[in-house]
Amino acid sequence: MPNPKRPHVVIIGAGFGGLAAAKGLERADVDITVIDKRNHHLFQPLLYQVATAGLSPADIASPIRHILRKQANISVLLDRVYGIDREKKYVILGEHDPLAYDWLIIATGARHSYFGNDAWEPFARGIKTIEDATQVRRNILMALERAETEPDPERRAALLTFVIIGGGPTGVEMAGAIAELARKSVSSDFRNIGAHSSRIILLQRGDRLLPSFPEKLSAKTLTAIQKLGAEVQLKANVTDIDADGVTANNVKIPSKTVIWAAGVTASRASEWLDCGRDTAGRVQVSTRLHPMNDPAIFVIGDTAACTDGNGLMLPGVAPVAKQQGEYAAKAIMAHLRGREAEPFCYKNYGNLATIGRSQAVADFGRFQLSGFAGWVLWCTAHIWFLSGFRNRIGVGITWLWSYITFERNARLITGDFAPDLPATRELAAHLKQRPTVEA
């Protein structure tokens, strides 16, 4: 329990921003409570590797309590947040009593946005959580398994058509990884599926891939992903997604596996605070990351609508969240010393995106990398930022083995193995009608 004689800092969310804030307050004379609805911190940039059987969930996640175990002024609370009372300064929780705070840091991240077409979600899963990634992995692997024994050519073609919607870093990484999985890693394990049986289609509404990168790197990305065997459709306007596939530019693409990587919306923090938000649901904050200039609250990461020094909106990426979390911690420590922190200033250390095996792009402003050199840098950066020594060693070994052998050993299909198909229902009804034989 917090010491009533010391200020209490409540951090909602244990993502990159929340953990950075918690660690930044390690030496502060405060008590800290970290609240999260899950017990683990997730390295989201590598979720697509779980979704494509390159890594196991435990490779990219660590228990929050374990990460913060050495920090004596922190307690971790597993619970959901349902609201915030700004006047009384407490957080409304699902299973515990309201939690009072002196400072509140909101780092609740983002979720999928289907731009008003929420009916598409059951047919086009995004990847924001481990549950999402393992479900996408199941969908991909089950499609391959069913295609192996499907006699109808049209149904088999639909099973072997994988559509990714969104040409940003997540969409590009997913398309490259699925192409490698379907064409290289598993083709030798099947008897009726060859290296060129699968069709991978990447749909991008804009006129180029990776729009946040320079045009030169976007062009190299397009070339590299096409060499992997993926089809890229630019200026693709998706108008419908259902159980049979995707409709883009008035053309139906039959597919049983559609993956959403086109957009996100912020958490419900703006509703909790009853404050202004942008079109993506992000809380509008000041230059010191305060909503409505409330000095007791910081909103950071994907939840905050924050601009850089040139008035450009900061992207929802891990480096932004980490720097904002560190800033919130420094601002609280400055206040404890009777000072006020300078406005937040983001330092852009570059953007990275991988395209597939030994291909990546890196943008550092005037300095750019692509190809194998970019891929080595991408691997090094992602291994370095993983939480925990075991995770780094494990992922490094897995990637090295996969690079040498093309193998993806996390190809596990989990979940219900009795799909609700007509044949299954008929068999169940027949078995119920059979007479019981007494012993």
CA distance 149 to 204: 32
Q: Give Cα separations from 74 to 11, 388, 438 (angstroms).
A: 10, 19, 62
180 in catalytic set: no
Q: What is the pLDDT of residues 188-199, one digit of tens each?
A: 788 888 878 899
pLDDT for position 183: 76
CA distance 105 to 273: 12
Cβ proximity of 297 and 290 under 8 Å:
yes
Q: Residue 391: how many CB atoms within 10 A of its CB?
A: 19
pLDDT for position 102: 97
3-class SS of residue 342: coil
CA distance 263 to 343: 29
3-class SS of residue 108: coil
CA distance 97 to 297: 20
Answering whether pTM is above 0.85, one says: yes
Cβ proximity of 157 and 254 under 8 Å:
yes
- Return all residues near 28 (Cβ < 8 A) that are at least 6 apart: 9, 73, 329, 332, 333, 336
Nearest in space to 17 (alpha carbons), one of 344, 377, 354, 388? 344
- DSSP code for 6: S
Annotated catalytic residue, options 121, 145, 154, 173: 173
Domains of the chain: 8-37+79-112+264-336 (3.50.50.60), 118-262 (3.50.50.100)
Nearest in space to 103 (alpha carbons), one of 30, 153, 53? 30
Both tokens assigned to 81: 């947040």
Residues of the chain with pLDDT under 70: 1-4, 185, 187, 387-392, 399-410, 416-439
CA distance 273 to 108: 13
- DSSP code for 439: -
